[in-house]
Amino acid sequence: MITGFHHLTAITKDAEKNKTFYTDTLGLRLVKQTVNQENLTDPHLFYGDYHGTPGTILTFFELPRVGQRHEENSFIHEVILKIPRGSLPFWNKRLTERAIPFVENDEAGSTFLDPDGMKISLIEVSEVISPDQATRHSEVPAEHQIIGIQGIHYTVSNLKKTEDFFRDVLGMKLQDHVAHPLSSRDEESRLIQSVSLKPSRLGKGAIDHIAYSVPERKDLDSILDKAKEKEITVEKIIDRGYFQSLYLREPSGLRIEIATEQPGFTLDETLENLGEAFALPDFLEPKRNAIESNILKRKK
């Protein structure tokens, strides 16, 4: 049922710096400016390819007063993005010119930090972004553009139980502590045993949760049934407007979302105008004035 990654959601302290980095430096498209539906005072930004395709989406809650994150016991700590083969020299030059701090840089890939300190790695794959999905606003040529999410690294307190969750609830294949969707073997969720007993804490640059993609609502119901059977903590199943979501807590305590591929981000904006206006799904439209007022107050 899981077809691959849908999106990740992380925390930024400064939305404007975040926009500049992801749209200018990385060349992604801002496909949706909306609100955190769990807290209607927090902006929620979505970036991806031209269409906002599931599997290309990086999203951020803006929390201006957020503190430092502490990564100790269970946490999500790296996103791996795929780029076309032969693109690393282009990206190394581009990131160096913009003084982006590297963590590691070799023939296998480049690892660097975004403005909030979130770790991002670029690795080459034998595919390119399709012409209709390539972003148009950016000076990054299509032959070098980021294709989407290839991998996520988890550090967990109970490796065995988390592996059981990925296999028995999400239906993924496990090999050498890496979970793969059956239909997308190149996408990896790498599971690492924690060596710390101290609690982790979310902060700037932290990844709040990872979302995996399924085609339809009935797939959410099927995974929900498996989660209940395995006594996995179920947070909620909810309509987010742009997709429907099931939220679970895997055995090490990390939040995992399962999201449908439809209806997508053109629900309330045309493809050509994605991300240009502050958007709200229909069920939040009656609260638009209050939501916009609260967000504007934060910017003063």
pLDDT tens digits for range 23-75:
999 999 999 999 999 999 999 999 999 999 999 999 999 999 999 999 999 99
Q: Is the pLDDT of residue 297 over 90?
A: no
Predicted confidence (pLDDT) at residue 289 exceeds the cutoff of 60 = yes
For residue 100, name the pLDDT band (cuts at 50, 70, 90).
Answer: very high
Please, what is the average pLDDT of the chain? 96
Whether 237 shows a pLDDT value over 70: the answer reads: yes
Nearby residues of 250 by Cβ (< 8 Å), 6 or more positions away? 156, 162, 165, 166, 232, 256
Does the pLDDT of residue 184 top 90, yes or no? no
Strands (E), the chain: 4-12, 29-35, 43-48, 57-62, 75-84, 102-106, 109-113, 119-125, 148-156, 173-175, 178-180, 188-193, 207-214, 233-239, 244-249, 255-260
**What number of other Cβ atoms are within 10 A of residue 160's Cβ?**
11
Percent of the chain with pLDDT over 70: 99
Report residue 185's pLDDT band, with 50, 70 and 90 as the boundaries. confident
Q: Which residue in the block uniquely carries the two structure tokens 């930090």? A: 113
